Chain A
Amino acid sequence: MRLTLEDVRKTYGETIALGGSEGDQPDPAAGGGANGISVDVDDGEFFTLVGPSGCGKTTTLRLVAGFEPPSAGAIRFDGESMRGVPPEDRDVGVVFQNYALFPHLSVRENVAYGLKFGDPPGGESDAERVASLLELVDLPDAGDRDPAELSGGQQQRIALARALAPGPDLLLLDEPMSALDAQLRERLRMQIKEIQSELGITTLYVTHDQEEALAISDRLAVMNGGAIEQIGTPRDVYRRPATRFVANFVGDNNVFEGPVVSIRDGREFEKTTTSVDNDRKSPDETEGSGRERMVDVDVGGTTVTVASDRRVDTGDRVVFCVRPEGMSVVGDGGDGPGTDRAGIESRARSGGDGSGTGFGDTPANVLDATVSKAEFLGESTRSHLRWNGQEVTVRSVDPLEGDVRIGFDPSAARVVETEQGRGP
């Protein structure tokens, strides 16, 4: 089933839960032309809404389930408007964070509850259907037990079985694993993903855990303050964050900002402003489809070269980010302050780092920094460095200490925000 949200908004009195308001919108490009949110989930797709608490992700799910009506906009199942259709007539299965199993019914009665209101799919009898679902969630012998006797993870699997029993067209999962411990979470998330792809059921998944969202989704929407910041594949969102918020929220990131001092490559940028908007709503995955060009940015007195696929002019302020794993250690800190010019000899050593898109004639950026603290994470060490009055995070196999010289390729940088300068 194909799920479509068209310009959907939700307000509670004066409070806006979903969609922006006039003048409230931080960036008119973020929410599209209108104020509401718009999402298109394909048949069989595993689609995730991810964002911090209060971003509107659970509200969106509740609107889709029909627990609350949207204040404006349309929700369509296979193109058919769901306006006024009560939850019981929507053919959706819902799984909540706290399982919400009926405490006065046995596990079997819980799973069978939805079968009271219609025949099970595929010509099975009710009993067969319950048995095959308990089998599916790997709890074939739990039928006669009380929900309270089961562990959290088991209860959640029963909740999943109950939601799937009537053969819904759409599965809605509201933070289903937030109450479970980390190890169980990872196991269950693989199990959910397996079941989902086996059944091919369209799934809307809500979580605040960006790592979970990256691991489980076909596509995801990053939400913030009632609006969608970016929609894309996990790879896409991770590698090419569309906004500063996405850059910060999804994974670790180093964010720098400063004015553009010069543009190395004088070629005219091909994309128009509108295509930038499109890029944010549904960025295409092919890297560098637009023309990238080298831009020198003054970050607190140091000139750094980054690749930009956005239209920028000299004098514009830009915000860009570099992943910790996009940074590499070049050597111990030198005597003088590091500049991009000094990086030429070190580039040979760090060559092969970065995404290696072959800007062969561009020198790597080199920063001389001091380690302020390091966290040992097991497979790697995350070091927090002081550079130029700001913090820079680097991941390395060996722990770092003292003064270090780190470098990154221009192509490892991603411009996430531009603001037109006053100058030409």
Chain B
Amino acid sequence: MRATLRDHASRAVDRIRAVAGLVESHALALGALATALVLVGVFYYPVATVFVDAIVVDGRPTIEPLVSVLTSRFYLVEIFGFTAYQAFLSTVASVALGLPGAWVLARFEFPGRETLRSLTILPFVMPSIMVAIGFVATFGQNGTLNAVLRALGLPTIELLFTLPAIVVAHAFYNAPLVARVTTAAWESVDASAIETARSLGASPVRAFRDVVLPQLLPAVAVGATLTFVFTFASFPIVLALGGFQLATVEVFIYSRIQNLAYAEAAALAVVETVISLSLTYLYLRYEGRQRAAGQGARPQPRRSLWPESVTSRELGTRLAIVGYAVVVLAVFVVPIASMILTSLTGPQGELSLRHYRFLVERQQTGAAYQVRPLPAIENSLVFGAGTLLVGVPMGVLMAVLTTRDFRGRALVDALSMAPLAVSGIVVGLGLLRGLVFGIEVFGTRITATGAVAIVAAHAVGAYPFVTRNVAPLLGNLDPRLIESARSLGASRVRALLDIELPLVAAGVVAGAAFAFAISIGEFDSTVVLAEGSTSYTMPVAVERYLGRRLGPATAMGCLLLGVTSLSFVVIERFGGRYGRGGF
């Protein structure tokens, strides 16, 4: 009798243990399922509806829109041809502008080098529409450049709505990226490998060619491929600086949407997405190879920026660096400075707050259909907070998943990173056609407001950045820490909360700041979803002002700059502490 009782008791304990273990071991799977549902709901499904739009017209399947795109000389040459051409030029310009920067950052020592190095992350968090405003303020009819030319008595030039303006703006965005990855690769070159080559008889030039260059090239390739991917799908910069005269695929799709030509837009989007995904695949392959290269044991010593000896060679090098610094100033600092300056300048060139006053007046007296600044700021902050709420848990969970070994991990990796490769316009269009216009699920019509759709789109665009910041930290954690905690009595979830999360907190915060900044600056899908509604954000407001009034647009841009800078400070504070997160 007693034995049976004990038997029962122990069996009950066993069962409780089994159930607890089941929940425990499936907690991660449940989280993954939730993330997957969100992704399907706000990314894969909407994108799929865009694809369906391209092959189903008026309820009948057809390949007519796709065929018309693929056989049209206009689309292939004028649109896709031009898109690829400007992306290629932008890539060349970005590499040309970025490589000297990598050389200076990796090989020279000077005050502020670390700061400059961390500033290269700035473009990632800069709203592209703000950069576009800066370039309009610099190169426009009444921009800084022409003002300087007029002051010097020289003829003015018109750079706006030309290819060079687009290419330089793209270089502004992507040259720091090239510099960043190349600097990292350069710094990881082991000095003893170079010394070995030298001791075996190689000249400095030969040692550079044989030892350093092979380690730099993959990094340059990664930077160039990424630049091409970004500039191929670039939207706000081309829209603002090229207009519809110099239309890339993205801009053209946008104009089709505005004209309600959804089938045509969808067909273009399909072709664009296929190209983007192929490019991203290329990039991921390059990046994988790049990661395989080991970390340098001992970096090369840096030279002082001040020449130690006055030889013509040393001086020549320094002169080249000074020349490069002037170019960097012109490309990176002048546009931002011009934006700030323009926002503070009156019609006669005097210092004035009238553009800001205009914003205040518009806020007080503007009509309902007019763009008012306060709702824009409010919306931006609310959407940013929403993005954090949705995107950060998704990103952390994805990071936990991707640092674990299981079957099909590569597929999960690829699927979860796909949002990076699909253009915001396509996601926006999908959400608009799907969620906002409503979908039928088991006879019930489900619709989402523009605001919800915007948060969804921002979260999908932002969570990969959280993952990228958290995953490396998680991956570097010693598994024995978790094992120690567990042998001391902590359950798996408890060990995650007590040990893992506190240790990757810096990455989570940096990732969150990224996510916030991306939400604040997001333009592509927001402009599609905010069309005609009241859920416009600061970047959308900037673009709407830009059409008629440059001054208020620059004033709005300055507000955007302020919010963005704040995000950058947070990233810098937390990302810089461990120096390993992210890019």
Contact = CB atoms under 8 A, between A and B. Distances in A.
A33 interface: no
Nearest to B10: A80
B480 interface: yes
A159 B498 CA distance: 17
Contacts of A319: none
Nearest to B495: A88
Contacts of A100: 478, 480-481, 483-484
Interface in B470-493: 478, 480-481, 483-492
A104 B502 contact: yes
A86 B484 contact: no
A126 B564 CA distance: 47
B124 to A, nearest CB: 28
Interface residues of A, number: 30
B17, B21, B484, B487 interface centre (most CB from chain A within 10 Å): B487
B486 A86 contact: yes
Nearest to A62: B483
Contacts of A343: none
A93 interface: yes
Contacts of B24: 86
A68 to B, nearest CB: 10
A243 B489 CA distance: 40
B205 to A, nearest CB: 42
A114 B498 CA distance: 12
Contact of A118 (B484, B489, B499): B489
Contact of A98 (B18, B480, B489): B480
A113 to B, nearest CB: 5
Interface string A96-110: 101010111000000
B478 A88 contact: no
Interface in B226-282: none
B503 interface: yes
Contacts of B491: 86, 88
Interface centre among B480, B489, B498 (most CB of A within 10 A): B489
Nearest to B491: A88
Given A84-B21, A86-B21, A163 B488 contact: yes
Interface in A32-76: 65-67
Nearest to A93: B487
A65 B487 contact: yes
Given A65-B483, A67-B483, A98-B480, A88 B502 contact: no
A90 interface: yes
Interface in A154-177: 159, 162-163, 165-166, 172
Interface string A365-407: 0000000000000000000000000000000000000000000
Nearest to B499: A102
Nearest to A118: B489
Interface string B500-524: 0011000000000000000000000
B486 A88 contact: yes
A87 interface: yes
Contacts of A65: 483, 487
B17 A94 contact: no
B251 to A, nearest CB: 49
A175 B492 CA distance: 25
A292 to B, nearest CB: 47
A94 B487 contact: yes
A104 B503 contact: yes
- How many interface residues does chain B have, given as a range? 20 to 34
A96 B486 contact: no
Residue of B17, B21, B480 with highest tally of chain A CB at under 10 A: B480
Interface string A240-277: 00000000000000000000000000000000000000
B483 A116 contact: no
Contacts of B489: 88, 114, 116-118, 166
A89 interface: yes
Contacts of B480: 96, 98, 100
Contacts of A98: 478, 480
Interface string B376-412: 0000000000000000000000000000000000000
A92 interface: yes
A88 B503 contact: no
Nearest to A113: B488
Interface string B44-58: 000000000000000
A94 B491 CA distance: 15
A105 B18 CA distance: 32
A96 B483 CA distance: 10
A172 B484 CA distance: 11
Nearest to B502: A104
A88 B499 contact: no
Given A86-B21, A89-B17, A104-B503, A163 B481 contact: no
A117 B490 CA distance: 7
B485 A113 contact: yes
Contacts of B21: 84, 86
Given A86-B491, A103-B503, A117-B489, A96 B484 contact: yes
A114 B488 contact: yes
Contacts of A96: 480, 483-484
A126 to B, nearest CB: 13
Interface string B438-473: 000000000000000000000000000000000000
Contact of B17 (A84, A102, A113, A172): A84
Which of B18, B484, B503: most chain A Cβ within 10 A? B484
Contacts of B484: 94, 96, 100, 102, 159, 162-163
B185 to A, nearest CB: 29
A162 B490 CA distance: 13
A388 to B, nearest CB: 44
Contacts of B478: 98, 100
Contact of A87 (B17, B483, B499): B483
Contacts of A67: 483, 486
Query: Which residue, of B480, B488, B492, B503, has the highest number of chain A Cβ atoms within 10 A?
Result: B488
A100 B503 CA distance: 13
Contacts of A118: 489
A74 B445 CA distance: 57
A102 B487 contact: no
Interface centre among A92, A104, A163 (most CB of B within 10 A): A104
A223 B361 CA distance: 84
A163 B487 contact: yes
Contacts of A84: 17-18, 21
A85 B21 CA distance: 9
A94 B483 contact: yes
A93 B483 CA distance: 10
> Which of A86, A116, A118 gathers the greatest number of chain B CB atoms within 10 Å?
A86
A156 to B, nearest CB: 13
A92 to B, nearest CB: 5
Contacts of A89: 17
B483 A162 contact: no
A103 B481 CA distance: 9
Contacts of B502: 104
Contacts of A87: 483, 486-487
A346 to B, nearest CB: 56
A118 B485 CA distance: 13
B17 to A, nearest CB: 7
A422 B334 CA distance: 95
A162 B489 CA distance: 12
Contacts of B486: 66-67, 86-88
Contact of A92 (B487, B498, B499, B503): B487
A102 B503 CA distance: 9
16 contacts: A66-B486, A84-B18, A87-B486, A88-B487, A88-B490, A90-B487, A93-B487, A96-B480, A98-B478, A102-B481, A102-B499, A113-B498, A117-B489, A162-B488, A165-B488, A166-B488
Interface of B: 17-18, 21, 24, 478, 480-481, 483-492, 498-499, 502-503
Given A100-B478, A100-B481, 9 more contacts: A87-B483, A96-B483, A100-B480, A100-B483, A102-B484, A113-B498, A162-B488, A163-B484, A163-B487
